[in-house]
Amino acid sequence: MRISIAKVTFAAVFLVVALTACNETSPNANKAANVGESNTGNVKTGVKPQPDSQVAVIETGDYGRVVIELYPNIAPQMIERFKKLINEHFYDGTAIHRIDPELGIIQGGDPQTKGSNTAVWGTGNSPYPNVPAEFSDIPYERGTVGAARQGPPPGQPEAPFFNTANCQWFITLKKQPAFDRKYTVFGRVINGIKNAEIIMSAPTQEGSERPADKVLIKSVTLQPRSNFP
Protein backbone atom coordinates (compact mmCIF):
# COMPACT_ATOMS: atom_id res chain seq x y z
CA MET A 1 0.00 0.00 0.00
CA ARG A 2 1.13 3.47 -0.57
CA ILE A 3 2.51 3.84 2.88
CA SER A 4 4.50 6.93 3.20
CA ILE A 5 5.20 8.06 6.68
CA ALA A 6 5.02 11.70 7.44
CA LYS A 7 5.62 13.14 10.86
CA VAL A 8 2.63 14.86 12.35
CA THR A 9 2.05 16.84 15.48
CA PHE A 10 0.61 15.15 18.48
CA ALA A 11 -2.06 17.42 19.93
CA ALA A 12 -0.60 18.41 23.27
CA VAL A 13 1.75 15.50 23.52
CA PHE A 14 4.54 14.64 21.10
CA LEU A 15 5.34 14.18 17.46
CA VAL A 16 4.44 10.94 15.79
CA VAL A 17 5.05 9.69 12.35
CA ALA A 18 2.71 7.93 10.02
CA LEU A 19 4.04 4.46 9.38
CA THR A 20 5.77 4.40 6.04
CA ALA A 21 8.77 5.31 4.07
CA CYS A 22 10.66 8.29 5.23
CA ASN A 23 8.83 11.53 5.74
CA GLU A 24 6.79 11.52 2.57
CA THR A 25 3.81 13.85 2.69
CA SER A 26 1.94 12.92 -0.47
CA PRO A 27 -1.84 12.63 -0.04
CA ASN A 28 -1.49 9.10 -1.37
CA ALA A 29 1.06 8.13 1.25
CA ASN A 30 0.02 5.41 3.69
CA LYS A 31 0.76 6.27 7.27
CA ALA A 32 0.75 4.35 10.45
CA ALA A 33 0.27 7.03 13.01
CA ASN A 34 -1.49 10.26 12.46
CA VAL A 35 -2.90 11.34 15.78
CA GLY A 36 -5.34 14.09 16.51
CA GLU A 37 -8.74 12.47 16.44
CA SER A 38 -10.09 9.34 18.00
CA ASN A 39 -11.97 6.75 16.05
CA THR A 40 -15.65 6.65 16.93
CA GLY A 41 -16.48 3.84 14.56
CA ASN A 42 -16.62 0.13 15.32
CA VAL A 43 -13.99 -1.00 17.81
CA LYS A 44 -13.92 -4.62 18.97
CA THR A 45 -13.58 -4.51 22.74
CA GLY A 46 -13.09 -7.11 25.43
CA VAL A 47 -12.16 -9.88 23.00
CA LYS A 48 -9.14 -12.02 23.84
CA PRO A 49 -6.94 -12.74 20.80
CA GLN A 50 -7.13 -16.36 19.67
CA PRO A 51 -4.04 -17.54 17.77
CA ASP A 52 -4.45 -18.94 14.29
CA SER A 53 -3.24 -22.48 13.62
CA GLN A 54 -0.49 -20.94 11.49
CA VAL A 55 2.14 -18.30 12.10
CA ALA A 56 3.93 -16.03 9.63
CA VAL A 57 7.67 -16.67 9.57
CA ILE A 58 9.76 -13.80 8.22
CA GLU A 59 13.28 -14.80 7.15
CA THR A 60 15.58 -11.83 6.64
CA GLY A 61 18.84 -11.71 4.76
CA ASP A 62 21.03 -10.53 7.63
CA TYR A 63 18.92 -10.25 10.78
CA GLY A 64 17.54 -13.71 11.37
CA ARG A 65 13.95 -14.75 11.80
CA VAL A 66 10.84 -13.00 13.11
CA VAL A 67 7.76 -15.11 13.85
CA ILE A 68 4.29 -13.52 14.01
CA GLU A 69 1.29 -15.05 15.73
CA LEU A 70 -1.93 -14.20 13.86
CA TYR A 71 -5.34 -13.25 15.30
CA PRO A 72 -8.17 -14.06 12.89
CA ASN A 73 -10.83 -13.50 15.57
CA ILE A 74 -9.62 -9.91 15.94
CA ALA A 75 -8.94 -8.97 12.30
CA PRO A 76 -10.31 -11.70 10.00
CA GLN A 77 -10.14 -9.68 6.79
CA MET A 78 -6.58 -8.51 7.36
CA ILE A 79 -5.50 -12.04 8.24
CA GLU A 80 -7.15 -13.35 5.08
CA ARG A 81 -5.29 -10.75 3.00
CA PHE A 82 -1.95 -11.30 4.77
CA LYS A 83 -2.12 -15.07 4.34
CA LYS A 84 -3.22 -14.75 0.71
CA LEU A 85 -0.22 -12.55 -0.09
CA ILE A 86 2.13 -14.87 1.78
CA ASN A 87 0.87 -17.85 -0.21
CA GLU A 88 1.47 -15.88 -3.40
CA HIS A 89 5.07 -15.11 -2.28
CA PHE A 90 4.18 -11.43 -2.52
CA TYR A 91 6.54 -10.46 0.32
CA ASP A 92 9.54 -12.51 -0.81
CA GLY A 93 12.34 -10.19 -1.88
CA THR A 94 10.82 -7.06 -0.33
CA ALA A 95 12.57 -5.01 2.33
CA ILE A 96 11.98 -3.20 5.59
CA HIS A 97 11.65 0.30 4.19
CA ARG A 98 11.21 2.30 7.36
CA ILE A 99 12.72 2.20 10.84
CA ASP A 100 12.08 4.73 13.59
CA PRO A 101 13.72 4.13 16.98
CA GLU A 102 11.98 7.18 18.47
CA LEU A 103 8.55 5.74 17.78
CA GLY A 104 9.82 2.21 18.20
CA ILE A 105 8.63 0.80 14.87
CA ILE A 106 9.80 -1.05 11.81
CA GLN A 107 7.68 -1.30 8.66
CA GLY A 108 7.66 -3.51 5.60
CA GLY A 109 5.39 -5.18 3.08
CA ASP A 110 5.80 -2.78 0.15
CA PRO A 111 6.35 -4.46 -3.25
CA GLN A 112 8.08 -1.29 -4.47
CA THR A 113 11.05 -2.22 -2.27
CA LYS A 114 11.93 -5.01 -4.67
CA GLY A 115 13.32 -2.27 -6.91
CA SER A 116 16.19 0.12 -6.35
CA ASN A 117 14.25 3.39 -6.61
CA THR A 118 14.10 4.26 -2.93
CA ALA A 119 12.08 7.41 -3.72
CA VAL A 120 8.97 5.24 -4.15
CA TRP A 121 9.59 2.90 -1.23
CA GLY A 122 6.61 2.99 1.09
CA THR A 123 4.09 3.86 -1.62
CA GLY A 124 3.18 0.42 -2.95
CA ASN A 125 0.00 -1.64 -2.72
CA SER A 126 -1.02 -5.16 -3.62
CA PRO A 127 -3.24 -5.67 -6.68
CA TYR A 128 -6.20 -6.24 -4.38
CA PRO A 129 -8.72 -3.77 -2.89
CA ASN A 130 -8.04 -2.07 0.42
CA VAL A 131 -9.04 -3.85 3.62
CA PRO A 132 -11.62 -2.19 5.91
CA ALA A 133 -10.53 -1.15 9.39
CA GLU A 134 -10.82 -3.82 12.07
CA PHE A 135 -10.01 -1.76 15.14
CA SER A 136 -9.84 -3.32 18.59
CA ASP A 137 -8.83 -2.38 22.11
CA ILE A 138 -5.63 -4.45 21.89
CA PRO A 139 -2.86 -1.96 22.71
CA TYR A 140 0.21 -1.25 20.65
CA GLU A 141 3.16 -2.36 22.74
CA ARG A 142 6.37 -4.32 22.32
CA GLY A 143 5.77 -6.94 19.64
CA THR A 144 2.36 -5.80 18.38
CA VAL A 145 1.86 -6.18 14.62
CA GLY A 146 -0.44 -3.74 12.85
CA ALA A 147 -1.72 -2.95 9.38
CA ALA A 148 -0.34 0.29 7.93
CA ARG A 149 -2.76 2.44 5.99
CA GLN A 150 -3.05 5.75 4.19
CA GLY A 151 -2.98 8.99 6.10
CA PRO A 152 -4.53 12.35 5.25
CA PRO A 153 -2.80 15.41 3.87
CA PRO A 154 -1.76 17.89 6.56
CA GLY A 155 -4.74 19.53 8.20
CA GLN A 156 -7.27 17.06 6.79
CA PRO A 157 -9.40 14.65 8.88
CA GLU A 158 -8.08 11.18 9.42
CA ALA A 159 -11.32 9.20 9.51
CA PRO A 160 -11.80 8.96 5.71
CA PHE A 161 -8.55 6.99 5.57
CA PHE A 162 -9.39 4.40 8.23
CA ASN A 163 -10.35 1.79 5.60
CA THR A 164 -7.18 1.96 3.49
CA ALA A 165 -5.03 -0.86 4.86
CA ASN A 166 -3.79 -3.10 2.06
CA CYS A 167 -0.52 -5.04 2.24
CA GLN A 168 1.98 -3.15 4.38
CA TRP A 169 2.50 -3.98 8.04
CA PHE A 170 4.48 -2.66 10.97
CA ILE A 171 5.81 -3.91 14.29
CA THR A 172 5.88 -1.73 17.38
CA LEU A 173 8.80 -2.36 19.69
CA LYS A 174 7.61 -0.23 22.58
CA LYS A 175 4.28 1.06 23.84
CA GLN A 176 2.72 3.43 21.35
CA PRO A 177 -0.73 4.48 22.61
CA ALA A 178 -1.06 6.99 19.75
CA PHE A 179 -1.81 4.03 17.47
CA ASP A 180 -4.44 2.41 19.71
CA ARG A 181 -7.85 2.04 18.06
CA LYS A 182 -6.52 3.78 14.95
CA TYR A 183 -4.65 0.96 13.21
CA THR A 184 -5.75 -2.65 12.85
CA VAL A 185 -3.91 -5.03 15.17
CA PHE A 186 -3.64 -8.46 13.58
CA GLY A 187 -0.77 -10.22 15.30
CA ARG A 188 2.12 -10.31 17.73
CA VAL A 189 5.79 -11.27 17.51
CA ILE A 190 6.33 -14.49 19.45
CA ASN A 191 9.86 -15.30 18.31
CA GLY A 192 12.70 -13.08 17.10
CA ILE A 193 11.72 -9.86 18.87
CA LYS A 194 15.41 -9.15 19.51
CA ASN A 195 16.06 -9.45 15.78
CA ALA A 196 13.34 -6.88 15.11
CA GLU A 197 14.92 -4.56 17.65
CA ILE A 198 18.31 -4.90 15.98
CA ILE A 199 16.69 -3.99 12.66
CA MET A 200 15.21 -0.91 14.32
CA SER A 201 18.66 0.21 15.41
CA ALA A 202 20.22 -0.15 11.94
CA PRO A 203 21.75 3.01 10.44
CA THR A 204 19.48 5.09 8.21
CA GLN A 205 20.16 7.20 5.15
CA GLU A 206 20.85 10.76 6.16
CA GLY A 207 17.67 12.78 6.51
CA SER A 208 15.39 9.78 6.13
CA GLU A 209 14.00 6.75 7.92
CA ARG A 210 15.13 4.32 5.23
CA PRO A 211 17.82 1.85 6.27
CA ALA A 212 21.22 2.81 4.88
CA ASP A 213 21.73 -0.81 3.81
CA LYS A 214 18.81 -2.78 2.45
CA VAL A 215 17.13 -4.95 5.09
CA LEU A 216 16.09 -7.79 2.83
CA ILE A 217 13.14 -10.06 3.55
CA LYS A 218 14.11 -13.29 1.84
CA SER A 219 10.77 -14.96 2.44
CA VAL A 220 7.59 -14.97 4.45
CA THR A 221 5.97 -18.37 4.93
CA LEU A 222 3.06 -19.84 6.88
CA GLN A 223 4.05 -22.57 9.31
CA PRO A 224 2.22 -24.47 12.07
CA ARG A 225 1.78 -22.49 15.28
CA SER A 226 2.69 -25.67 17.18
CA ASN A 227 6.27 -25.40 15.87
CA PHE A 228 6.76 -22.31 18.04
CA PRO A 229 5.69 -23.09 21.64
Picking from 6-15, 57-66, 73-82, 197-206, which range would have the lowest pLDDT averaged per residue?
6-15
pLDDT score of 13 more than 50: no
Give the per-residue pLDDT at 152.
86
The pTM for the full model equals: 0.84
Per-residue model confidence as pLDDT tens digits over 138-188: 999 999 999 999 988 899 999 999 999 999 999 999 999 999 999 999 999
Q: What is the DSSP string of 148-177?
A: -EE-PPTTS-SGGGTT-B-S-EEEESS--G
Per-residue model confidence as pLDDT tens digits over 50-79: 999 999 999 999 999 999 999 999 999 999
Sequence length of the chain is: 229
Mean pLDDT of the residues in the chain: 86
Between 17 and 80, the more confident residue is 80
Give the per-residue pLDDT at 41.
55
Domains of the chain: 4-51+72-186+202-212 (2.40.100.10)
The alpha carbon of 191 is separated from its chain's Cα centroid by a whole number of angstroms, namely 17
The alpha carbon of 126 is separated from its chain's Cα centroid by a whole number of angstroms, namely 14
